[in-house]
Structure 1
Amino acid sequence: MSWPEGIVARPIDMGDAQAWADLLAAREKVDQEGEIYGAEDLIEELDDSRLDPAHDTIGLWADGQMVGYGMVRISETVVDVDRVHTEGTIHPEWRRRGLGTTLMCWLIHRAGELHAAKHPDAVGEVSNGTISTNTGANQLLRSFGFEEARYFIDMKRSLDQPVPDAAPADGFRLQVYGPELDEALRLTHNEVFLDHWGFTPRSVQSWKARHAGSRSFRGGSSYLVLDGETIAAYVLCYEWEADTALTGIRELYIGQVGTRRQYRGRGLARAALAKVLTEAAQAGYQRAGLGVDADNPTGALGLYESLGFTVHSKWITYRLPL
């Protein structure tokens, strides 16, 4: 890959975490995506079983400053399509110099290599997403032939609003997350989300890295609905300290909401969400946030709206066949 003069391109390592965080902070000031990470969060990103940092990441440097990055992740398993996830950005002060185009070429090329190496017998596509208001990113993706594949909605709710009453039905009980339930929860999550677009089952390693073992995970704010010893529904929550430091707003992010198929339609997720929101307000959180697939098959969007969440932004996931 030929990079513009003055640009040094190399893989990202742990020692680059603060420079990477500075790049993302500069992006946030312009793009207003609400995606804010500290150096510790990014170190976790590199420690991902789906990622080989030496080959699947690239940092772009100019005079000792990281001015761009790219990352490619391959799914551990394939359900329908091998969607190779790509991401990246260019520092706002370095845009419109051809860096974004060259970076996208690198991402597509690496995605193709990973697909051929890991899941060659499956249908493959490059996946990339951006907030709908980022005109430059949307135009760049379309110029490479990417097509819109799915829409996701980011929702927010102030926690100074009253929370509707929603107790679980008789026979069910609410319980705060505990590590003794972690493996049962992983298996439940894999079952619940199997009919959701783009989902691939979580291995023990990826579950720990992305969920219960993440530094952002807040087990004390996460609740499960139990039927005896069976997990019927659950709400898992996260907090990004870097986000609070930058915005001054302490937000509890609701990352996963699920109900087993045989328990759907009984208001169990609603009861767990109401408990989470009530406890979050008492714990000093000022806002709750979540993301939802606009075409979610379980009607989640209506549930969140009924609990006071409103649309904050829209995200577009793009696809490019390999």
Structure 2
Amino acid sequence: MRSHRGKADLDAIARFLKTCEAVDLPNEYPSVSDILMQFDAPSVDQQRDIRLWENAEGQLIALAGLMIPTVGETVDGFLWFRVHPKQRVDSLYRNIIAWAESRMQEVCQERHLAVKLLAGAGAEQAKRMTLLENCGFRIERYFLTMVRSLSEPIPEPQLPDGFTLRPIQGEPDAQAWVELFNDTFIDHWNYHPDTVEAFNHKLKNPEFRPDLSVVAIAPDGTWAGFCDCYIPKDGNQSWINPVGTRRGYRQQGVARSMLQAVMQQLKVEGMETAMLYVDAENRF
């Protein structure tokens, strides 16, 4: 096990992720693009939050990282990992989890805050789920991936009177978007405040499409909702994530209108399907 060596590792990591992607679940979170973006994310400690495992020949067999929020009253570190298809043995998985536990203990000691280690498993990943449970994890939340064909008719958006939609305009929108996100998700499970730095880093993601993403603006100029979208470089599937409506503007059709507007634009871009990642317990 060793730490990340920066640009010198990127080619090997890209090849490794492509090998894993060929056999793993489609659309597994985080995506390959998300993982690669983490290597220069402002919240990531490159030397401490990413680990690589190699075999005796120096070939990469496992990669793991922690997404650790920089602000908040508690620290919930999300562990992601990929293991080479020919190296998927319990001992390696346990080694990855042990590293993550040790790293989160360091965070606890440094910040003097309560910490928690989170990890995800798809419904089809029974082995991973069993392994996580055997290591002390328990199911805390379910999330769904919803899919919508864009070949079917998409209704015209019906915004409330006086509301408008416009695309995200890059860094000038950073502060307002972050305030909107935080006010929208402050009552959501596992909420951690977003930051301007994180928003500006998102703009560097080649799959993120601010020109197709939208914000909804109320008649008085208040930002009422947002809907981000991503178009992966390969294929004809697009992602819509996140989408949210500020408290006080919910149950008025704002989110539905944003989704319809974004899906219309994705269809024009040649996408055949749109996927949405949602909390199964979202009541809004």
TM-score (norm: length of structure 1) = 0.81
Q: CA RMSD in A?
A: 1.8
Name the SS for the 1:102 alignment partner.
helix
Q: Is the CA contact 2:174–2:200 (under 8 Å) kept in the aligned structure 1?
A: no
Instruction: State the AA in 2 paired with 1:76.
Output: T
Match of 1:239 in 2: 231
Name the SS for the 1:31 alignment partner.
coil
Deviation at 1:283, TM superposition (A): 1.7
Instruction: State the AA in 1 paired with 2:62.
Output: G
Q: Distance in 1 between matches of 2:36 and 2:132?
A: 27
Match of 2:32 in 1: 37
Q: Distance in 1 between matches of 2:231 and 2:59?
A: 28
Bigger strand share: 1
Match of 2:72 in 1: 78
User: Residues 202-213 of structure 1 correspond to what in structure 2 (within 5 A)?
Assistant: 202-209=194-201, 211-213=202-204
Name the SS for the 2:282 alignment partner.
coil
Instruction: State the AA in 2 paired with 1:60.
Output: W
Q: Distance in 2 between matches of 1:148 and 1:274?
A: 33
Q: Distance in 2 between matches of 1:26 and 1:33?
A: 13
Of 250, 258, 262, 1:272 maps to 258
Mapped pair 1:96 → 2:82: no
Instruction: State the AA in 1 paired with 2:120.
Output: G
Match of 2:16 in 1: 23
Match of 1:312 in 2: none
Deviation at 1:43, TM superposition (A): 4.2
Name the SS for the 1:60 alignment partner.
strand
Deviation at 1:42, TM superposition (A): 4.3
Deviation at 1:142, TM superposition (A): 0.8
Match of 1:10 in 2: 2
Q: Distance in 2 between matches of 1:282 and 1:237?
A: 14
Q: Distance in 1 between matches of 2:36 and 2:19?
A: 19
Deviation at 1:21, TM superposition (A): 2.4
Per-residue CA distance 1:119-178 (angstroms, 9 max, x = gap): x2x332111112121122111111111111111101111211111233212111121222
Deviation at 1:115, TM superposition (A): 2.3
Q: List gaps (5 residues or longer) in structure 2.
A: none
Mapped pair 1:221 → 2:212: yes
Name the SS for the 2:186 alignment partner.
helix
Q: Distance in 1 between matches of 2:178 and 2:203?
A: 9
Bigger helix share: 1
Per-residue CA distance 1:193-214 (angstroms, 9 max, x = gap): 11111121112112222x3343
Name the SS for the 2:184 alignment partner.
helix
Q: Is the CA contact 2:52–2:60 (under 8 Å) kept in the aligned structure 1?
A: yes
Q: Is the CA contact 1:86–1:111 (under 8 Å) kept in the aligned structure 2?
A: no
TM-score (norm: length of structure 2) = 0.91
Per-residue CA distance 1:71-104 (angstroms, 9 max, x = gap): 123211224x421221212211012262112221
Aligned identity (percent) is 27
Q: Distance in 1 between matches of 2:79 and 2:72?
A: 16
Q: Distance in 2 between matches of 1:177 and 1:116?
A: 39
Instruction: State the AA in 2 paired with 1:153.
Output: L
Deviation at 1:181, TM superposition (A): 2.7
Per-residue CA distance 1:241-284 (angstroms, 9 max, x = gap): 1xx2xxxx322211111111111111011111111111111121
Q: Distance in 2 between matches of 1:64 and 1:239?
A: 34
Aligned CA distance change for structure 1 residues 100 and 250 (closer, same or farther; 3 Å): same
Q: Distance in 1 between matches of 2:161 and 2:82?
A: 50
Match of 2:125 in 1: 134
Q: Distance in 2 between matches of 1:260 and 1:125?
A: 27
Moved >4 Å (runs of 4+): none
Match of 1:147 in 2: 138
Per-residue CA distance 1:42-75 (angstroms, 9 max, x = gap): 4421112221111221111122321101212321
Match of 1:58 in 2: 51
Name the SS for the 2:141 alignment partner.
strand
Match of 2:281 in 1: 295
Mapped pair 1:106 → 2:99: yes
Match of 1:317 in 2: none
Name the SS for the 1:269 alignment partner.
helix
